[in-house]
Structure 1
Amino acid sequence: MEQQQPRILVVDDDPTVAEVVSGYLDRAGYVVDRAGDGPDALARAAEHWPDLVVLDLMLPGMDGLEVCRRMRGQGPVPVIMLTARGDEDDRILGLEVGADDYVTKPFSPRELVLRVESVLRRVRPAQAPGPLRAAGLTVDPAARRAVKDGAELALTVREFDLLTFFLRHPGRVFGREDLMREVWGWDFGDLSTVTVHVRRLRGKVEDDPARPRLIQTVWGVGYRFEGV
């Protein structure tokens, strides 16, 4: 049976940007849907659920943050956020709402395609190792499911990858640069990305996120997962 190509939903109110991005993704072999605003994006996602969404933050009416929230309310989907400005606050907002990656305009369409490939590669791992268990947590990389004390966790793509990495390396300290390279696959980037995702992950796996017991900060070095 021929494997179906991943479906990408591109959401941008700038027709030129949407056309260029869609063209590059189409030539890379993806099935591409386009939407010019939030309601249109939600309607198209309901009709054909995407494997990944490229989502502009600054949309008219319903902004990208709200679109991301509503899509995530319908089901898990990786999101790459496009931000028109380089302000750190914009990037943090996107990550806080659950975006798995972000690209700042103006950007290289070829770089965006590489980011799409990177996120999809992590959603669909080539290997299917067995479940990982520690401290009341069970992570199944093959099924992309994580459970804490019998309750399933609602994790984004990067949160799931980060938790999986921690469970595979209990007791070891990793700097933010290490985590960005090992989890995100980036050799460079904004390290606040890692900080935000660790904070979000703590909010979902810790009994008291203000006093984390599992994902501990090693001051001046990075983070350590205590799985005992």
Structure 2
Amino acid sequence: MLGTVLLIEDDEEIAQLIALYLKSADFEVLQCRQAEDGIALLEQAEVLLLDINLPGMPGWDFLKLARQKADLPILIVSALESDEDKLQAYGLGADDFISKPFSPKILTAKVLAHWRRSMPKEHQVHFGPFTLDFVEKRLLKTGVPVKLSRKEVELLEFLARHPGIPFKPEDLYRQVWKNNWGDLTTVPVHIQRLRRKLGDDPANPRYLETVFGLGYRFVSGTDS
């Protein structure tokens, strides 16, 4: 799984077409028909696809709000096509403007390009025989992919981005599962699965340590 795209489009047929192509490229897609519904989803998104002519809150207003609240690529997908509309979009913080009708293949390629450019320059962490790629969302062992679930990748990535810092299960649940409430036992279950796939000894783990009273932390295997 690559990144998460927030798609705000009121035309159901167009929305389903875009979502189909993005999902086939391995993106997660969050969809809503009105801009108001997208406000709460912004913090989960890594790319925003936004129509302008929407019911309720105008797309222009949401564009301004999104640029203030989130640092992510914003692509306008609209039937508007005048130079004035495009200049207004860029002036409000849009990164690209795609006029309808459009090629879904080109749109998907643009999303992928903007998403890749927005990723941190240091997009990999190496530990032992493993390489965790934050952009491709995958774990390699001596160059061979290790099969992980999406949540396993996200959990390992979050811990690896904060090496040496212990996190309690409730903090990990909030950061990775994006929820303040739920079954916290899923966190140690996922830790156990990751340890097994990393070849970690549960009694003396090398990469995913348990810090008594503080939670779990990632170490490279050489600096624990």
How high is the TM-score relative to the length of structure 2?
0.52
Counterpart for residue 115 of structure 1: 110
* Distance in 2, Cα, partners of 1:78 & 1:66: 17
Counterpart for residue 75 of structure 1: 70
Structure 1 unaligned blocks of 5 or more: 129-228
Given that 2:49 and 2:75 are in contact with CA atoms closer than 8 Å, whether structure 1 keeps it comes out as: yes
Given that 1:83 and 1:105 are in contact with CA atoms closer than 8 Å, whether structure 2 keeps it comes out as: yes
* Distance in 2, Cα, partners of 1:75 & 1:45: 7
Q: 1:111 to 1:73 in 2, by over 3 A?
A: same
The alignment status of 1:57 with 2:65, answered yes or no, reads no
Q: Which has the larger radius of gyration?
A: 2
Given that 1:37 and 1:62 are in contact with CA atoms closer than 8 Å, whether structure 2 keeps it comes out as: yes
Given that 2:36 and 2:56 are in contact with CA atoms closer than 8 Å, whether structure 1 keeps it comes out as: no
Given that 1:80 and 1:99 are in contact with CA atoms closer than 8 Å, whether structure 2 keeps it comes out as: yes
Root-mean-square deviation over aligned CA pairs: 1.7
Counterpart for residue 37 of structure 1: 34
| 1:127 Cα deviation from its structure 2 partner | 6.2
| 1:72 Cα deviation from its structure 2 partner | 2.2
| 1:61 Cα deviation from its structure 2 partner | 2.1
Cα deviation digits, residues 141-164 of structure 1 (max 9, x gap): xxxxxxxxxxxxxxxxxxxxxxxx
* Distance in 2, Cα, partners of 1:41 & 1:124: 22
* Distance in 2, Cα, partners of 1:34 & 1:51: 13
Counterpart for residue 16 of structure 1: 13
| 1:60 Cα deviation from its structure 2 partner | 1.7
After superposing on structure 2, the runs of 4+ consecutive aligned residues of structure 1 that deviate more than 4 Å are 125-128
SS of the aligned residue for 1:76 comes to: coil
* Distance in 2, Cα, partners of 1:85 & 1:72: 20
The alignment status of 1:106 with 2:87, answered yes or no, reads no
Cα deviation digits, residues 41-97 of structure 1 (max 9, x gap): 112325xx2000000011122121211211222221210001212211111111110
Give 2:30's aligned amino acid: D
* Distance in 2, Cα, partners of 1:61 & 1:89: 23
- Map residues 161-172 of structure 1 onto 2, 5 A cutoff: none
Given that 2:8 and 2:51 are in contact with CA atoms closer than 8 Å, whether structure 1 keeps it comes out as: yes
Cα deviation digits, residues 12-35 of structure 1 (max 9, x gap): 010011000011000000011001
SS of the aligned residue for 2:102 comes to: coil
Alignment size in residue pairs: 123
Given that 2:42 and 2:70 are in contact with CA atoms closer than 8 Å, whether structure 1 keeps it comes out as: no
Given that 1:82 and 1:104 are in contact with CA atoms closer than 8 Å, whether structure 2 keeps it comes out as: yes
Given that 1:35 and 1:44 are in contact with CA atoms closer than 8 Å, whether structure 2 keeps it comes out as: no
SS of the aligned residue for 1:85 comes to: coil
SS of the aligned residue for 1:95 comes to: helix
Give 1:42's aligned amino acid: I
Give 1:14's aligned amino acid: D
Worse-matched range after superposition: 79-88 or 27-36: 79-88
Give 1:111's aligned amino acid: I
- Map residues 200-219 of structure 1 onto 2, 5 A cutoff: none
SS of the aligned residue for 2:50 comes to: strand
Given that 2:35 and 2:54 are in contact with CA atoms closer than 8 Å, whether structure 1 keeps it comes out as: yes
Structure 2 unaligned blocks of 5 or more: 124-224
